[in-house]
Structure formats: C-alpha cells, structure tokens
C-alpha cells in the first residue's frame, strides 16, 4: 500500500465516523448560567447594559466627584501638608528597601546574564567539537567501509 492509498483509506474511515456529541450535562449547565445572568440586578451587570438613566446618573456623579476633588485640591493642600510629610517620613524606610531590592535584582540579572552567556558559549563550543568529531569518525568509517 503506497502513501496515497493510505491517505485515502484514513480519510474515508475518518469521514465514516459519527459526529461527536456534546455531553448531556452541557445544555442544562449553559441554560442555568444564562438564567442566572438574566436574573442578576441591573447594577450587577456590565455598565453598558445598565438603563440609560442610570448610565447618565453615574456619569454625572463621576464628573461631580472629579470636579469636587479638582476644586478642593488647592484649598486642602496646605491642610494636608503635615499629613503628607508624616507619610513621607513613614515611607522613607520602605523606599530604601525598594531601592535595595532593585539594586539586588539588577546585580542578580547581570550575574545571570554573564554566567548564562559563558555557559552558552561553553555548550556551543562543546557542540562544535562533538560535531566535528562525529563528522571525522563518520568519514573514517566511510573510508574503511569502501576500502580506501
């Protein structure tokens, strides 16, 4: 049997197989999920499916909150200065830790690259030596087999 006959035989047998059926539990599970999503309240659904009035109200509320924060920032900044200074003093040790971890990460990365590149170079050199040895041995076996 040649390759084309085998391909035709396999193709015929595969086409003769019955179509695959979904498990019997799939349809009830899908319908349960569809019903559960439909029964969710409007505010638990994606924002784009909310009623238009509630979408408008949420946009207005967002604009009001952002506008109020923007308007009160210059007024509240002097009052918040001591709190921000205290937070800065509190977070200075954390900043030092983050800087130290960043430095350590950079050192580990550099060392990994150097070692990795040297290992890759050694593996490549070993591969080239093994390849040339294999070719030389193959050539020698070929000459011996031919009788030269």
**Of 9-13, 44-48, 108-112, where does mean pLDDT reach its minimum?**
108-112
CA end-to-end span of the chain, whole Å? Answer: 40
* Of 147 and 127, more confident: 127
Which pTM value belongs to this model? 0.37
Helix (H, G, I), strand (E, B) or coil at 40: coil
Residues 6 or more apart whose Cβ sits within 8 Å of residue 47: 55, 58
* Of 95 and 136, more confident: 136
* pLDDT tens digits for range 90-128: 788 888 888 888 899 998 888 878 877 778 878 888 999
């Amino acid at each position: 049997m040649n390759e084309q006959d085998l391909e035709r035989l396999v193709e015929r047998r595969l086409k003769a197989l019955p179509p695959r059926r979904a498990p019997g539990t799939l349809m009830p599970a899908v319908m349960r999920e569809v019903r559960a999503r439909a029964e969710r309240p409007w505010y638990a659904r994606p924002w784009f499916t909310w009623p238009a009035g509630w979408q408008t109200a949420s946009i207005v509320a967002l604009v009001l909150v952002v506008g109020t924060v923007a308007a009160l920032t210059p007024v509240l900044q002097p009052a918040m200065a001591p709190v921000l200074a205290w937070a800065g003093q509190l977070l200075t040790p954390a900043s030092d830790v983050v800087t130290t971890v960043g430095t350590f990460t950079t050192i580990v990365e550099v060392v990994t690259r150097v070692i990795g590149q040297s290992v890759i170079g050694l593996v490549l050199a070993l591969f080239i030596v093994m390849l040339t040895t294999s070719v030389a041995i193959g050539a020698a076996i070929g000459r011996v087999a031919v009788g030269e």
